[in-house]
A and B are shown apart, each in its own frame.
Chain A
Amino acid sequence: MTHSDLSDLSGVTAPVATARGLPNAHYVDPQVFAEEREALLFGNWAGVGFAKDIPNEGDAAPIDFLGVPLLAIRDGAGDVRVYQNTCRHRGMILVEEPGNIRGTIRCPYHSWCYGLDGTLRSTPHVGGPGRNLHEDIKRDDLGLVEFPSYVYRDVIFVNVSRKAPPFEEYAAKLLERWREHDRPIYPGGGRSDFVLEVKTNWKLAVENFCESYHLPWIHPGLNTYSRLEDHYHIEEPGAFSGQGTYVYRQLEGDGGEKFPDFEGLSDFWDAGAEYVSFFPNVLFGAQRDHAYAMILMPTGIDQTRELTGIYYAFDPAEQPEKAAMIDRNADLWKGVFEEDIFVVEGMQRGRYGPGFDGGKFSPVMDNPTHLFHAWAADQIQKYRDAR
């Protein structure tokens, strides 16, 4: 079987009015899942974790990214770096649990040691007992394998294939669109960090997030102040899609207090808010007074771990009086995301029905979803063509 036999993508990239969605195989076939791992998730800049989770020098977090063992570390310069979590000697996993590395990353097998900068610092007994040098062990060539990484809005992005353009180029259109929001953000902490385990293919969470069509049906609470017609599509072919609103309403405390705004925003953001599925697997929300990011971490063809962080324009540690309101906001968002679970799980189960043909898009309401499908189909086709 050739890769092209796995699924027929010819109808996916057609204009939205005549297109079909991605065939069922893209949600239920393990071979296609493996193909998409390479073409969509490893071939692009994927979110794998949050910088907030490794705030201090030496903090390290092992990450299993669809079988690839990664190690995110805060180095001595304060930068986040992502290595392959594998010793260059015998391929042993270096770090099993999140924690702080005070001095060096020591392989638990034969104790080869690496600095936070990835350099190989010691090779004990490599030339025999008590002899730590050997002419054939060239330490300068044996540092940790590092992946290209970039932190944007606290999300650690990694390009596993190393073939994507630099992040600033890859994300240029989003960086420009949200240039005003390029301000320090502070994690809410506590309940503002939450994880949802969802029985769905990760793409269905992308698709659900980027469209507003479902809002009045799935999130009826929004109807009280935000009608469907108050929303607009965000469409950036080849990069991201999503939805915006013109009637964002700030959360208010019992005394009418609100979260402080990010500085320097234009008038649009007084009542505007935008929600973007940044391909492949990160969902962003941008509002005047808080932001959030959700990383869709695939853990199986029909299993997705949704990692969410909510952020503010102020450091919550310095304004403890806002803690209750921060928790309330976190609970509100978690409730919204939980409302979506039955939808993405239901669409997953629906795709095990062989009669489903990818679906028929609304030419008016499903444009952001179709844009994602077209992006995925294009990426997969290029991957197939290259093989």
Chain B
Amino acid sequence: MAAFDRQDGAAVARLYGAAGDASSDIDEACFLWTHAFVFALEAGLAEAEIYRAKLVAEGRER
């Protein structure tokens, strides 16, 4: 929540991304990668493409 509070989108994206990577449930992982993707997109981070690719691989994004 500290990352949210200081509106640090990049940190938020990485936290969600790491949580998604750590999840053993693919639906939960895709939920978390979605948030990582959105916040990375908003922050203009190149790693948005990494999260997008994870979602595309699961048929959840294009």
Judged by a CB distance under 8 angstroms, whether A132 is at the interface is yes
- B61 with A122: CB separation less than 8 A: yes
- A124 with B35: CB separation less than 8 A: yes
Q: Check A121/B41 contact, CB under 8 A, given A130-B30, A130-B34.
A: yes
State which of B42, B48, B61 has its C-beta within 8 Å of the C-beta of A132. Answer: B61
Instruction: Please tell me which stretch of A12-20, A98-106, A332-340 contacts chain B, meaning at least 4 of its Cβ atoms lie within 8 angstroms of it.
Output: A98-106
User: How distant is the Cα of A218 from the Cα of B55 in the complex, in angstroms?
Assistant: 67
What does the 1/0 interface line of A113-125 toward B look like (CB < 8 Å)?
A: 1000000011011
Q: List 17 A-B contacts (CB under 8 A).
A: A102-B43, A102-B44, A103-B40, A104-B42, A106-B41, A106-B42, A113-B38, A113-B41, A122-B38, A124-B35, A129-B27, A129-B30, A130-B30, A130-B60, A131-B30, A131-B60, A133-B61
Judged by a CB distance under 8 angstroms, whether A56 is at the interface is no
- B48 with A133: CB separation less than 8 A: no
Judged by a CB distance under 8 angstroms, whether B45 is at the interface is yes
The chain B residues found within 8 Å of chain A, CB to CB, are 27-35, 37-38, 40-45, 48, 55, 59-62
- A125 with B41: CB separation less than 8 A: no
Judged by a CB distance under 8 angstroms, whether A111 is at the interface is yes
User: How distant is the Cα of A129 from the Cα of B31 in the complex, in angstroms?
Assistant: 6
User: How distant is the Cα of A129 from the Cα of B45 in the complex, in angstroms?
Assistant: 23
User: How distant is the Cα of A139 from the Cα of B59 in the complex, in angstroms?
Assistant: 16
State which of B30, B31, B45 has its C-beta within 8 Å of the C-beta of A103. Answer: B45
Q: Looking at the assembled complex, report how far the CB atom of A94 sits from the nearest CB atom of chain B, in whole angstroms.
A: 12
- B48 with A125: CB separation less than 8 A: no
Q: Looking at the assembled complex, report how far the CB atom of B62 sits from the nearest CB atom of chain A, in whole angstroms.
A: 6
- B41 with A132: CB separation less than 8 A: no
User: Chain B binding site: helix, strand, loop or mixed by DSSP?
Assistant: helix
State which of A102, A103, A106, A132 has its C-beta within 8 Å of the C-beta of B34. Answer: A132
- B27 with A103: CB separation less than 8 A: no
Q: Check A122/B31 contact, CB under 8 A, given A133-B60, A133-B61, A133-B62.
A: no
The chain B residue with its CB closest to the CB of A139 is B62
Q: Check A130/B28 contact, CB under 8 A, given A103-B48, A124-B35, A125-B34.
A: yes
In the A-B complex, the 5 residue pairs with the smallest Cβ-Cβ separation, listed nearest first, are A130-B30, A102-B44, A103-B44, A130-B31, A104-B41
State which of B28, B29, B38, B59 has its C-beta within 8 Å of the C-beta of A124. Answer: B38
User: How distant is the Cα of A384 from the Cα of B45 in the complex, in angstroms?
Assistant: 52
Interface contacts beyond A130-B31, A139-B62: sample of 16 additional A-B pairs, CB < 8 Å, sorted by A: A102-B43, A103-B40, A103-B41, A103-B45, A103-B48, A104-B41, A104-B44, A106-B38, A122-B38, A124-B35, A124-B38, A125-B31, A130-B27, A130-B60, A133-B60, A133-B61
- A102 with B42: CB separation less than 8 A: yes
User: How distant is the Cα of A104 from the Cα of B44 in the complex, in angstroms?
Assistant: 7
- A132 with B44: CB separation less than 8 A: no
User: How distant is the Cα of A104 from the Cα of B55 in the complex, in angstroms?
Assistant: 18
The chain B residue with its CB closest to the CB of A123 is B61
Q: Looking at the assembled complex, report how far the CB atom of B38 sits from the nearest CB atom of chain A, in whole angstroms.
A: 5
**With a CB–CB cut-off of 8 A, which chain A residues contact B35?**
124
Most buried by B among A104, A130, A132: A130
Q: Looking at the assembled complex, report how far the CB atom of A34 sits from the nearest CB atom of chain B, in whole angstroms.
A: 37
**With a CB–CB cut-off of 8 A, which chain B residues contact A125?**
31, 34
- B60 with A132: CB separation less than 8 A: yes
The chain A residue with its CB closest to the CB of B27 is A130
User: How distant is the Cα of A345 from the Cα of B28 in the complex, in angstroms?
Assistant: 62
**With a CB–CB cut-off of 8 A, which chain B residues contact A129?**
27, 30-31
User: How distant is the Cα of A113 from the Cα of B42 in the complex, in angstroms?
Assistant: 8
Most buried by A among B37, B38, B43: B38
Q: Looking at the assembled complex, report how far the CB atom of A292 sits from the nearest CB atom of chain B, in whole angstroms.
A: 35
